Structure 1
Amino acid sequence: EIKIKPKSVDNFHKQAIWDSKHSNARKKISIWEPKLEKLLKIKRNKMRICVGHYASTGYRAPNRRSCILLELTDVHTSTVFKSSNLDDAHLNHLVPHPIRFKMVWSQVDKESKFYAWKPIPPNKNYVCLGMVGTTSHDEPPLQSVRCIPVGWTVESKSKPKKVWDDSGTGGKRGSAWIVNSFGTIVFTEGHLAPQGTFYELKAKRFFASQGYVKGAHSLKPDLDRQY
């Protein structure tokens, strides 16, 4: 049985993916990717997964305590042994990667290039908790983030909190928001709050089977669904 719980980010990669230093924006922002271990070296029955990137309102890494990812623990396996329930094959059924990304906003000039991407889940049985940033027009690697079963979630009741907008840049208007307790970043065109449904975990701790639909990964993508 796999136990699910939110966990604060331990570390970020040494350098931000992007910052607004050379963008002429009046406000500061930097975008960070959490640093994950494939399997935690000490506790081999655990796995942490990235659900999106995070923002700092400066050029240093954000406060780790306010940046949350998901930890999966195989409760029937000792910490000494590598859990077969947390290998790639099992994870790709339980918490699959997106099938593609949709670019939702970009800021491009000579000194600064940034692209914000929304992960598109495999089908209606999964949702995404945040977005991903890059400095390339190419889609991010699908492996950079994972989706989670919609049955693990409830709709977020949090009012979106603006953490940055591009005032001063003269480019295509855009802004960055936090929409749930994970602290993952969501970008949108314009300076008004993003529209749509956002998600929280349904409980602080629960088992993976509580909300996971068997065979959910095999459902065909809903091509008519609006993302």
Structure 2
Amino acid sequence: MDPSPSPAQIAEQGLWRNNVGLVQLLGLCPLLAVSHNAVNALALGLATLIALTATALGVSALRHLLSRPIRLPGFLLLIASIVTAIELLIHAFLPALHEVLGLFLPLIVTNCALLGRAEAFSSRQPVASAALDGLFMGLGFLAVLLALGMLRELLGQGSLFAGAGRLLHLPFIELRIGSGGGLLLASLPTGAFLSLALLVALKQWRDLRAAPRQASPSTEDPRLERPAAP
């Protein structure tokens, strides 16, 4: 078993340094397709967060029971079971939201982040560390998805969380800014790629700004006076 990283290291990896959406660029299909408004982004992000955390817990708990030949099929079966349970719960309690998200809920099964983290981390770590990793990886994905949804909805429709009352039973978070339409490009698939590219560029810029500057070694000691010319 690999040595367990500290909770602070796990949080930093999931939220920033190894962010699923900005660094690993996994799960781009739902990330780009559902992020045209904040409500859909929030709902799918929360569903993915729950799936990641539950998968990490299950994989870590079962890691000693699954032999190598059946490990990956076992992980896939566990992921599919968890995602199916989440979809059925949303269908039962939030049917309008289930209808809007449609195929993208079961497509969480194909999100490479779930199987990738299960194989690379959860299968090698104790339950507590695996659960934290799933939680922070899910939070990082949720943050990117929600940022995309809010940005595109604000620019494209001039609103935030429109339809939250009907879909999530949270009418108090709906916000309307202005009375007319917005930038159509932001609501189109092209706007999704441009918005994600903007977020990736901002992260890279922030990382470059935060990186310590490597000072070039001086070729001479400035404290020594130059000899006078003959």
The two structures have a TM-score, normalised by structure 1, of 0.27
Larger-Rg structure:
2
Higher helix share: 2
The answer to which structure, 1 or 2, has the higher relative contact order (CA under 8 A, 6+ apart) is 2
The two structures have a TM-score, normalised by structure 2, of 0.27
